[in-house]
Structure 1
Amino acid sequence: MESLVISDIRARAVIAPLLRPIRTASGSIEASPLVLLDVATEQGITGRSYLFAYTPVVLRPLLALAEQVAPLLRGQPVVPLARQEQFEKQFRLLGLQGLLGMLVSGLDMAFWDAMGQASGLPVVRLLGGEARPVRAYDSWGLVDPARDAEALARSVERGFRGLKIKLGGGSLEHDLATLRDLRSIVGDAVALMVDYNQSLGPGEAIRRVRALEPFGLEWVEEPVAAEDLQGHAQVRARSPIPIQTGENWWFARDAQRALSAGACDRMMPDLMKIGGITGWLSVMGLARAASMPMSSHLFIEASAHVLAVTPTCDWLEFMDFGAAVLAHPCQPVDGCVTARGPGLGIDWDEAAVARYALP
C-alpha cells in the first residue's frame, strides 16, 4: 500500500433530522448536530468520519478548531499512532479533552478510513480481524410505554436482542412503573438496560438501583456524575445490577483511572472521546486484562469494526445519528451490525449534506 500523505482537512457542519428524537433527564435532542470530516491525501484518497456535537452551539467552534489544526497536518503521513503522539506533544499543556479531544478522535477515525480505502479493505481487516455480526441493542431516550408501545414492539420485531431506555426524568415510582410496562411490551427474553445520564447522587442512586433488581436488567448506566469515580464505586459496591460507564472517558488514561477506582462492572467507551480507533485499541487491552465486557457508544459504523476485534466484546449501541447524511446508512440484520468497507464504509449523501448544512 502506498504511503498516504495528508494534503488538507475539510470540516462541514450539518443539523440532520432524527427518525426518533432522544429525550433524556438532561434535556432533549431533537436533531443531530454533526461535523463531517474529510481528510484529503495527495494520493487522491479521502478518509471520512463525523463528530456528534450534542448541541448546535459548538458546531462553529469545532469548525474553527479544525481550520486551525489543518496546517499542523498538511504534508504529514497518514499514520494514526504517530499523529496522535504529535497531538499529545503539541497540546500537552492544554490536554486532549473537550472539543480538541473530539476533533483528534474524529481525525483518527478518518485516518483509519483512508488507510482502509487505500488497501481496498474494511478497517476491521487492518486491525487483524474479520467482519462479523455484532449484537446490537436499540437505544431509546425517556419513553412513555403507552404512547411508544407500538414503536417499542417494532424494535423487537426488527430483531434487536436488547433495548435501552433513559430513566431519571421522574420519581422512583415512575421508573418502576415504566419498567413494568416495558417488560409487558417486549417480554422477558429481551435484555433491558437503563441509563440515568448522571442525574442522581450516590445515595439516591443506590436506593433506586436496589429497587430495580426484580426487572433483571443487563446494566444501570452512569447513575451519578461521570467524573465522580468514587461515587460510581460506592454505587457499584452496593448494587445488585452491573454498573456501566465510560462514554465520557477522555482517552485511555481516564479508562485506567476508572478501573483503578473500581467504578464499573462494564465499560462503553465513546470513539469520539476515547481517541478514535487508536485510543479504543489501548482501552481494549485494559478491558481484556480486567476481563471486563466492552460495549460501544454511538458511531455505529466505526464501532462495528472495533468491536469485532475486541476480546471482551459485549454490545453495540444502535443510535443512528448519522443516517440522514450517509449515502448508505447502516442497517441491522437480525439484531446485529456487521462492519462494512472499504475503510469504515462511510460515504456522504452530498444532496442531504447541502440540504441540512448549518445556516
Structure 2
Amino acid sequence: MSTSSPREHATAAASAAVDRISRVELSRVRLPLQAPISDAKVLTGRQKPLTEVAFLVAEISTEGGRCGLGFAYSKRAGGDGLYAHAREIAPELIGEDPNDIDRLWRRLVWAGASVGRSGLATQAVAAFDIALWDLKARRAELPLAKLLGAHRDAVACYNTSGGFLSAPVEQILDNSTEALHRGIGGIKIKVGHPDTATDIRRVEAVREHLGDSVPLMVDANQQWDRATARRVGRTLERFDLTWIEEPVDAYDTAGHAALASKLDTPVATGEMLTSVGEHRELLRSGACDVIQPDAARVGGITPFARIAALAEEHHLAMAPHFAMEIHLHLAAAYPGTTWVEHFDWLEPLFVERLECRAGRMLVPERPGLGLSLSEQCRAWTLERDTIDRAAT
C-alpha cells in the first residue's frame, strides 16, 4: 500500500509530464520543379521564372523519445539565409520543455531580434514552431487539427499549380479537368498579363470550360496598379469569381481597401505578409474579404493562430497560402469559411499523400501533421546539421 501524500503524487505526475529537447536536426533542401513556372511578376520583369523551392526542415527530438517535424520555405532567393539563421538560434531550444511553445517562439524570435522580428528572421523560427506543434500533437496521439480544436474533418480545396501564366490556356483547361477528377473542388488561375485582354480571354475560356458551378479564382500576384485593378476587376465581375487575389501591391493596404469597397467580387490578400502586426493593419483597414496568411512566412503556427483569431473577429473567410500539408490542419481549426490551396509541388518530400474527395481535402487521422520525410527529400538535401548538448 502506497504511503505517498497527494502532493507527492502531484509532483511525480508533473515530473513525468516534463520532457526536454535533446536534439535539433536541420536540413537545407532544394526541390526542383518539373518545368520553369511564370506568373505576372515574371512577365513584368520583376522576377525570373521559378525553377526550384528551397526548404528549411527542422526535426526536434526529446529525451523521452518524441520527435516533431516542421519546415519553412523560400522561393527564388532566401533559402540559404533561412538555414543560416536557423542554425544560429537552434541552440536556444536544447534542454527546454517542448510543451512551452509560445515561450519558445518568443525566445527564438528575441535570439535573432537584431535582424528583425518579421521577414526572414521569423520565417526561420517557423520551422521550429511547426515542429514543436507537430511534436505536441504526436505526443497527444491526435492529428494537429484535433489538438487545435477542429471544426471540420475536411476542407474545401482549390488547385493553383495547374494555372500559371507560363501554361497555354489549352493546358490549363486540361489541368483543370484533371484536378476536378482528383476530387479538388475549385480552380485558381494566374492573371496579370501585360495585355489585360489576354487575361480576360483566358478567364473566359476557363469559366466556359468549368461551367458556372465550379468555384473559380484569379491571382494577379500584385502586378496591377490601382486603376488597372479597378478596371479589370469590374470586367471580371461577369465571371462570378470566388475572389480576386493580390490585385495590387501586397503592402498597399489602402489600395486593397479601396478596391474591396468597390467590387462585388471578394478581394483576397495577405500571403506575402510576415507578421501579426501587418495582418492586423490589413484587417483594421477593411482591405480584404478573404485573408490568406502563410504559417511558414509569419513565423509558424503560434502567430498564425493569433491572425486567425483576428480574422474571426472580422468575420472573414480564410484561405491560407501554399503548404497544404500544414494549412489543411489550420484551416480545419478555423471557425469561419475556409479553403485550402492544393499544390502538388511538395508531395515528393513526404511519404504520405493527402486525399481530396468531392471538392474537399480530408484531414488525415495520423498524429501530428501526419507526415514523414521521403527518401527523395533526403536525396535533395544539400546540407545537414545536428545541434545537441555536445554542440552547445
TM-score, L = length of structure 2: 0.86
What is the aligned partner in structure 1 of residue 147 from structure 2?
A: 126
Instruction: Give the direction of change, closer, same or farther, for the CA distance of 1:92–1:59 in structure 2 (3 Å limit).
Output: closer
Paired letter, 1:33? A
1:86-235 → structure 2 map (5 Å cutoff): 86-129=107-150, 132-139=153-160, 140-142=163-165, 143-235=167-259
What is the aligned partner in structure 2 of residue 348 from structure 1?
A: 373
Residues 65-87 of structure 1 show CA distances to partners (whole Å, capped at 9, x for unaligned) of 11101111111111211112223
Please tell me the root mean square deviation across aligned C-alpha atoms, in Å.
2.0
What is the aligned partner in structure 2 of residue 299 from structure 1?
A: 323
Contact kept in structure 2, 1:52 and 1:321, CA below 8 Å = no
**Cα distance, 1:135 vs. partner?**
1.0
- Counterpart CA distance in 2 for 1:294 and 1:336 is 15
Equivalent of 1:36 in 57, 70, 76: 57
- Counterpart CA distance in 1 for 2:144 and 2:18 is 16
Contact kept in structure 1, 2:26 and 2:58, CA below 8 Å = yes
Residues 195-219 of structure 1 show CA distances to partners (whole Å, capped at 9, x for unaligned) of 1101111111111111111111111
- Counterpart CA distance in 1 for 2:23 and 2:270 is 32
Contact kept in structure 2, 1:209 and 1:240, CA below 8 Å = no
2:55 is paired with a residue whose SS is strand
1:243-322 → structure 2 map (5 Å cutoff): 243-322=267-346
What is the aligned partner in structure 2 of residue 65 from structure 1?
A: 85
Contact kept in structure 1, 2:184 and 2:361, CA below 8 Å = no
What is the aligned partner in structure 2 of residue 15 from structure 1?
A: 30
Residues 18-41 of structure 1 show CA distances to partners (whole Å, capped at 9, x for unaligned) of 467642112332333222221122
**Cα distance, 1:91 vs. partner?**
4.4
Identity of aligned residues (%): 29
Residues 307-333 of structure 1 show CA distances to partners (whole Å, capped at 9, x for unaligned) of 112111321111133211101132323
- Counterpart CA distance in 2 for 1:188 and 1:278 is 38
Contact kept in structure 2, 1:5 and 1:43, CA below 8 Å = yes
- Counterpart CA distance in 1 for 2:36 and 2:343 is 10
2:288 is paired with a residue whose SS is coil
Contact kept in structure 1, 2:308 and 2:334, CA below 8 Å = yes
Q: Give the unaligned 5+ runs of structure 2.
A: 1-15, 43-48, 384-392
**Cα distance, 1:275 vs. partner?**
3.1
What is the aligned partner in structure 2 of residue 325 from structure 1?
A: 349
Instruction: Give the direction of change, closer, same or farther, for the CA distance of 1:321–1:124 in structure 2 (3 Å limit).
Output: same
Contact kept in structure 1, 2:157 and 2:340, CA below 8 Å = yes
- Counterpart CA distance in 1 for 2:261 and 2:122 is 31
Contact kept in structure 2, 1:131 and 1:305, CA below 8 Å = no
- Number of residue pairs the alignment of both structures matches: 357
**Cα distance, 1:107 vs. partner?**
1.4
1:358 is paired with a residue whose SS is strand
- Counterpart CA distance in 2 for 1:119 and 1:21 is 41
2:357 is paired with a residue whose SS is coil
**Cα distance, 1:131 vs. partner?**
6.0
What is the aligned partner in structure 2 of residue 80 from structure 1?
A: 101
TM-score, L = length of structure 1: 0.93
Instruction: Give the direction of change, closer, same or farther, for the CA distance of 1:343–1:130 in structure 2 (3 Å limit).
Output: farther
Bigger drift between 85-94 and 120-129 goes to: 85-94
2:382 is paired with a residue whose SS is coil
What is the aligned partner in structure 1 of residue 10 from structure 2?
A: none
Residues 135-169 of structure 1 show CA distances to partners (whole Å, capped at 9, x for unaligned) of 10011322422233322211122222211011112
- Counterpart CA distance in 1 for 2:35 and 2:19 is 39
- Counterpart CA distance in 1 for 2:67 and 2:250 is 35
